[in-house]
Amino acid sequence: MGDWCLSLALNVNVIREDFPLIKDRKIVYLDNAATTQKPIQVINAISNYYMKFNANIHRGLYELSQEASKLYEEAHGVVAKFINAGSWEEVVFTRNATEGINILAQALVNRYLKPGDEVVISIMEHHSNMLPWIRLSETYGVKVKVVGIDSDGLLDYDELSNVLTPRTKVVSITHASNVLGTLNDVRRIAKLGHEVDALVVVDGAQSVPHLPVNVRELDVDFMVFSGHKMLGPTGIGVLWGRKDLLEDLPPVLQGGDMIKYVGIEVKGGVLINHRIIYNDLPWKFEAGTPNIAGGIGLAEAVNYLIRLGMEEVRAHEVELTRYALRRLDETLKDDIKILGPKHPELRSGLISIAFKGINPHVVASLMSTKNIAVRSGYHCAQPLHEYLGVYDGTLRASFYIYNDVDDINAFISSLEEVINVLSK
Ligand SMILES: Cc1ncc(COP(=O)(O)O)c(C=O)c1O
């Protein structure tokens, strides 16, 4: 520890002041891959909306409704700019990343996919980017191919290249693994996918909060992510898609606000004809009253991240990860196995640990007695754990903008202590 000279890109002491739940440092919060804490700016934006602007959007000609509509629409614009989308209409608000992939998978099968068509995913996917495609294989005869990883936890790009065929219609892969930390080369994946005319879908749940993401530069077709993993509230997420593709896809959820016109013809009490004109983007995919406060809160969270700078956020996490990896190697090398790539530049700011003969749930609950919040289990990636032969699950510590060396030192000391106790 002594010769370590760490220079963090973010001023954690200043940032912490914005986070009511952790500013007193009573909790060492290292479960950011599950959800992040919320800054006061986001909390205030949500309560401000309810106190001053609460009304349903798009339905009232009165001022409150118009104000609420404006704030909600502008929130789409803030998110669009953050990921460099072609326009704000390409940003569909969903409940979370999970809902985004489900809506997309259903829309794609309703429009393009036929039995025997292929969807390519990877073994490192979160269940959210696995189960919706498996469902299509059960119900529509779509074939799901699963690409493996190498011994370093990196995607096997040769295998990816080999499994692609003219029948591959979708390649859906995570940008950053929530277990291995592996950052996938999305541009390379997009290039390979597009060579066979497949649509390229990216699960950005663990990348958009942590590094600069530019959907046009990555040259992908769709991306999903969740607001709550990037300082925003729960219940709001994003499905981004290229405008021409979203325009062509049918809506999945039906109801209010997603249509411009509905006319029905009824004869003898039975519907015999109908005509529906769908609403413009993004409303076509946002049926029913949306999470207006959530959208406004997410925009505030994005603005917070923009003020910090995403390059700085990434640099901060790389340094913390580098420090944590080295300290773990110095102190616990013989007791633990760290999953994923060795180099911090190749991974996001999280570390998952497998133990020999120690259950990670026991470790996490003992650490919680020291107010250290980490996650244990399969992290919604059970097939990955089975693939790696890690049947008890792992312990995961995940970092964010308000974490510093003290948090990592507390985590590692506590881990050492717990391992000592449990190994006796
Ligand atoms: C890589 C990845 N994808 C998708 C999800 C799903 O996110 P949500 O539960 O917010 O829908 C998560 C959540 O942990 C994740 O880590």
**Domain final residue pick, 276, 306, 336:** 306
Judge if 94 and 134 occupy the same domain.
yes
Angle, to 10 degrees, between the axis of helix 292-308 and the axis of helix 310-332?
A: 80
Domain with 166 in it: 43-306
Looking from the CA of residue 96, the nearest atom of ligand 1 is 11
Judge if 242 and 388 occupy the same domain.
no
pLDDT at 341: 97
The count of domains in the chain is: 2
Q: Looking at the domain assignment, is residue 1 inside a domain?
A: no
What's the CA-to-centroid distance between 418 and ligand 1, angstroms? 29
Judge if 19 and 54 occupy the same domain.
no
- C-alpha pair distances (Å), 370 with each of 26, 45, 294, 396, 424: 9, 33, 33, 16, 20
Judge if 179 and 320 occupy the same domain.
no
Residue-averaged pLDDT of the chain = 96
What's the CA-to-centroid distance between 210 and ligand 1, angstroms? 14
Q: Which of 318, 328, 320 is nearest to 414 (CA)?
A: 328
Pocket of ligand 1, beta carbon within 6 A: 33, 96-98, 126, 128-129, 174, 178, 203, 205-206, 226, 380
Catalytic pick from 8, 144, 380, 405? 380
pLDDT at 3: 58
**Domain final residue pick, 272, 306, 340:** 306
Judge if 279 and 315 occupy the same domain.
no
Ligand 1, atom 7, residue with closest C-alpha: 97
pLDDT at 424: 75
pLDDT at 6: 80
d(CA 321, CA 314): 10
Judge if 48 and 23 occupy the same domain.
no
Given a contact cutoff of 8 angstroms between Cβ atoms, the answer to whether 399 and 30 are in contact is yes
Joined tokens for residue 393 = 């699950």
Q: What is the CATH number of the domain that holds 242?
A: 3.40.640.10
Q: Looking at the domain assignment, is residue 186 inside a domain?
A: yes
Q: Looking at the domain assignment, is residue 115 inside a domain?
A: yes
Looking from the CA of residue 176, the nearest atom of ligand 1 is 1
Q: Looking at the domain assignment, is residue 193 inside a domain?
A: yes
d(CA 280, CA 362): 51
What's the CA-to-centroid distance between 378 and ligand 1, angstroms? 13
Judge if 313 and 300 occupy the same domain.
no
Residues paired with residue 395 on neighbouring β-strands, in sequence order: 353, 376
pLDDT at 174: 98
Looking from the CA of residue 100, the nearest atom of ligand 1 is 11
**Domain final residue pick, 291, 306, 321:** 306
Residue 399 — left, alpha, or beta (φ > 0 → left; ψ -120 to 50 → alpha)? beta
pLDDT at 58: 86
Judge if 249 and 264 occupy the same domain.
yes
Judge if 260 and 180 occupy the same domain.
yes
Judge if 416 and 319 occupy the same domain.
yes
Q: Looking at the domain assignment, is residue 37 inside a domain?
A: no
Find all residues with CB under 8 Å of 13, minimum gap 6, and list them.
none
Judge if 261 and 328 occupy the same domain.
no
User: Could you report the average pLDDT of every consecutive run of 10 residues in the chain (424 residues)?
Assistant: 74 97 97 98 98 90 92 98 98 98 98 97 98 97 98 97 98 98 98 98 98 98 98 98 98 95 98 97 97 98 98 98 97 94 97 96 97 98 98 98 98 96 87
What is the residue type of 383?
P
- Look up 380 and say whether it is catalytic: yes
